[in-house]
Amino acid sequence: MKAFRLTYNGETIYQVTDNNWGDGHQWRRGSLLGKGGFGSVFLGILKNTNSLIAVKSTDIMNSGSIKEERFILSFMVGCPYIIQCYGEETTTDSHGNSIFNLLLEYGSGGNLFNRIHRSENRRMSEELEVRWYTRTILEGLAHIHEVGFVHCDLKPENIILVPWRTTSSGRVEFVAKICDFGLAKRAQKINPRSRKPRPEKGSVWRGTPMYLSPEAVKHGLQEPCSDMWALGCVVLEMLTGERPWKFNKGVGERVILDKIGKTLAVPKLPKKKEISPEARSFLKCCLRRRVEKRMSAKTLLHHPFVAVNGYLE
């Protein structure tokens, strides 16, 4: 196969020299962007428009999780703060195997983890940018919960940055969008009086230990309130440039889980002089150990910390 390149601002961002996974009818497969537990993600380009997309692929025999993600994304149509799904397609690799492909929106700004930890100061320099990304993530969570789902794995790596607008000065402003619904699940119907979900028999937690809520670790209980705890962890990470729980390098998963599930600890907040009162208040609304005291995404959309409409102007 001939090499194909696409340049952006003078840099080659797409190149195909050897394609073993197969192209689609209307798109070419590009370089590997990353691998996860449920498949590999490639850069793709639409043949007619040269627009970039992301293609999540796996052998069709192991495609159950990606197909479930496709089903869940069908409920997210119309929300501008959740990754868009453009459809699915089956291709054939160089060995004749069938490959299931999920065609997704491409985040040219990378993911939120890279924005935080690969910045010059390993953190966001302006709280206004944190507030804006928090606002857009909240909008996405509110929609997810409204249609009856729980994400279960909200973390900076699962939030992409997509161009939103170009300012009068020519700078590109990004919006945060929630992606990777491979672990998402249906939410329980909760008694509105108690606001407290009940643990389901035999439930076990799913997701990433660093962002799990106390009820997830202790009871395997993950409902919208658990996503809100994870959001607090993500916002804290944006503000400080550090993971929400501080441990020595190389500490195992069990130590993290014990800290969350067997103590009364919450992630340590920055000193008062380091963040605004609004930021501190918002974090406290998310990081409450008692689930019935934790605020919902819909309620927090009215919090002064997220009363913003961009961060460059």
Dump pLDDT digits (tens) for 165-206: 998 888 899 999 999 999 999 998 765 555 566 666 557 889
pLDDT mean across residues, the chain: 89
Cβ atoms 241, 196 nearer than 8 A: no
Pairwise pLDDT comparison (115 vs 6), residue with the higher score: 115
pLDDT value for 167: 85
Whether 2 shows a pLDDT value over 70: the answer reads: no
Sign of torsion, CA 148 154 158 164? positive
153 classed as catalytic = yes
Residue among 153, 180, 227, 258 flagged as catalytic:
153
Domains by residue range for the chain, with CATH: 4-105 (3.30.200.20), 112-306 (1.10.510.10)
CA dist 135 and 129 (Å) reads: 10
Closest CA to 154 of 176, 122, 126, 131: 176
- Model confidence band, residue 10 (pLDDT cutoffs 50, 70, 90): low
Binding-site positions for ATP read 56
